[in-house]
Amino acid sequence: MDSLPLIQNQPVLLPLATAHGCPDDIVSAARRGAMLPAALLPLAPSPLHLNQRRQLFRCGASRRSFTFHTAIAIASATAAAAAAAAAEAEAPPSKQGSPVLGGIANTRSWSQYYGSGFSIRVPPSFDDILEPEDYNAGMTYYGDKAKPRAYAARFASPDRDELISVVIKPSNQLKITFLEAKDITDLGTLKEASKIFVPAGAKVLSARTIKVKDEEDIRTYYFYEFGLDKQHVALMATVNSGKTYIAGATAPETKWGDDGVKLRSAAVSLSVS
């Protein structure tokens, strides 16, 4: 699995409404510090020719003229700097504060699916494709061992190319521990937990720690976005009462450009109770 180049050091704090509605201002502005490729940097100016350098020392201007022109140059530079500072102060905030998750849609108008201990927003036109046997999974009949449920929820686009799935796993199956995990940080840091949630060989495009304020406390979520085998995946995970809730939205890379914001928004809308 590739390294996580976009891991945010500071967690993002979201209001309670984010988990259910995903408003446009879902996430605060993120710092951008990517280094420009060397090929895009302006070329360094070529050194002056030797004759040109001599001409610099053969200036015939008088001391009075030199002082006069120097004063004018300093005054002009000071005025230009002041004008630039004033223009920057009056200019509207730049768009560097774009959502750190790459774009989130407002999902308040979407239908909300309520599952066992969780809820998630479902994009319009997506169908519930959970198989009937999946609904009965987890139940016992006459003492038989319960069949594990593969999915807690599963939705698909009309062409079935785009999927939104929710999986619930006991946390001790993901990381061996004798203690009940109460928070996703019990599974490790954002980078450490990526070994659990991101398949080996995947190209990680984004990784974020998101904190959502609920009625009682602040819950931590881990978000990962990655590509694997020509598929693009947005994944949101959290822990509650020893269970790990994972929401994943997938689509072919060829379709992510058009529907990526919608699918990412669905994954981020995961909320546990």
**How many CB atoms are located within 10 Å of the residue 73 CB?**
10
What number is the average pLDDT over the span 97-111?
Answer: 76
Q: Nearest 10 degrees: CA dihedral of 113, 114, 120, 121?
A: 30
Closest of 204, 262, 138, 218 to residue 3, by C-alpha = 204
* 171-227 per-position pLDDT tens digit: 988 887 767 889 999 999 999 999 999 999 999 999 999 999 887 789 999 999 999
pLDDT of residue 78: 55
pLDDT at 42 over 80: no
More reliable by pLDDT, 117 or 9: 117
Beta bridge partners of 154: 165
* 50-67 per-position pLDDT tens digit: 444 444 444 444 555 545
pLDDT of residue 180: 82
More reliable by pLDDT, 203 or 84: 203
Determine the Cα–Cα distance for residues 150 and 133; give it in Å rounded to an integer. 10
More reliable by pLDDT, 252 or 213: 252
What number is the average pLDDT over the span 10-32?
Answer: 42
Q: Is 61 left (phi over 0), alpha (psi -120 to 50) or beta?
A: beta
Closest of 247, 137, 124 to residue 197, by C-alpha = 247
pLDDT at 41 over 90: no
Identify whether the C-beta of residue 100 lies closer than 8 Å to the C-beta of residue 27: yes
pLDDT at 259 over 50: yes
| 176 residue type, one letter | I
Determine the Cα–Cα distance for residues 12 and 213; give it in Å rounded to an integer. 11
pLDDT of residue 216: 77
Helix%, strand%, coil% for the chain, nearest 5: 30, 25, 40
Mean predicted lDDT score pLDDT of the chain: 73
Scanning the structure block, which residue is given the tokens 């500071």? 10
Scored b (16 or more CB within 10 A) or e, 139-175 reads eeeeeeeeeebebbbbbbbeeeebbbbbbbbebeebe
Strands 12-14, 203-213: pairing is: parallel
Two tokens at 244?
């790990």
Q: Computed from CA positions of residues 180, 183, 188, 194, in that sequence, does the dihedral angle turn out positive or negative? A: positive
Strands 153-156, 111-114: pairing is: unpaired
Range from 88-102, 106-120, 128-142 carrying the lowest mean pLDDT: 88-102
pLDDT of residue 38: 31
pLDDT at 128 over 90: yes
pLDDT of residue 144: 55
